[in-house]
Amino acid sequence: MTSDGTRRTGPGADDATRTIEAQVALLLRLADTNRRRTPLLDGTLERSAYLALQHLSEHGPSGINEIADHLRLDGSTVTRQVVALEQADLVTRGRDDQDGRRAVIAPTPRGVRALAETRERRAQVYAELLDEWTSAERAVLAATLTRLNEALDRSAGRRDA
């Protein structure tokens, strides 16, 4: 929206919108590069495992489709990820007490520890990166990134975002 309340899209997008687009693209690249080059993150969970375990930690044991929906991924992709997590002893696959046909994925004690360790190390990395920022600046960034992710989610067709 412009200052007069109208929306700007397409070729008429303002300079700030073009800068945001370029900075988000760069953010994604730099975050990936930073993750690979930061020794503190060696041995921590990869993003897919981290996000899946985070979902299970927040929402409890879940079916493949619930995890896929939360992560905005196809069920077959999540099935492959869950197989890898099972092989690494980070999750177990059981049966739903109400519907024996439905698989339920739950974190193992090892998965819970790996998630906590990864979360702590990632927080340390970002604490160092944002060390010179005030708490107010960090709060604004947190709120703005949350709002951006919600808008991206809505744009992707998620009504509950």
- Residue-wise pLDDT for 27-79, tens only, equals 999 988 988 889 999 999 999 999 999 999 999 999 999 999 999 899 999 99
pLDDT band at 158 (very low <50, low <70, confident <90, very high): low
pLDDT digits (tens, 9 = 90+) for 99-149: 777 889 999 999 999 999 999 999 999 999 999 999 999 999 999 999 999
In the chain, % helix, strand, coil (3-state, to 5) comes to 65, 5, 30
Assigned domain for 98 exists: yes
Asked if residue 38 belongs to a domain, the reply is: no
Residue 121 resides in a domain? yes
In a domain, 86, yes or no: yes
Residue 34 lies in a domain: no
Token pair recorded at residue 127: 């604490």
Rounded Cα–Cα distance for residues 98 and 146 (Å): 35
CA-to-CA distance for 90 and 57, rounded, in angstroms? 12
Contact 78, 67 (CB under 8 A): yes
State the virtual CA torsion across 8, 14, 19, 22 in degrees, nearest 10: 50
CA distance 146 to 150: 6
Number of domains in the chain: 1
Residue 13 domain-assigned (yes or no):
no
pLDDT greater than 70 at residue 160: no
Question: Residue 130 burial by CB count (10 A; 0-12/13-18/19+): exposed, middle or buried?
Answer: middle
The CA-to-CA distance between both ends of the chain, in Å, stands at: 20
For residue 63, give the CATH number of its domain: 1.10.10.10
> Is residue 105 assigned to a domain?
yes
- The residue segments making up the domain with residue 69 are 44-129
48 domain residue, yes or no: yes
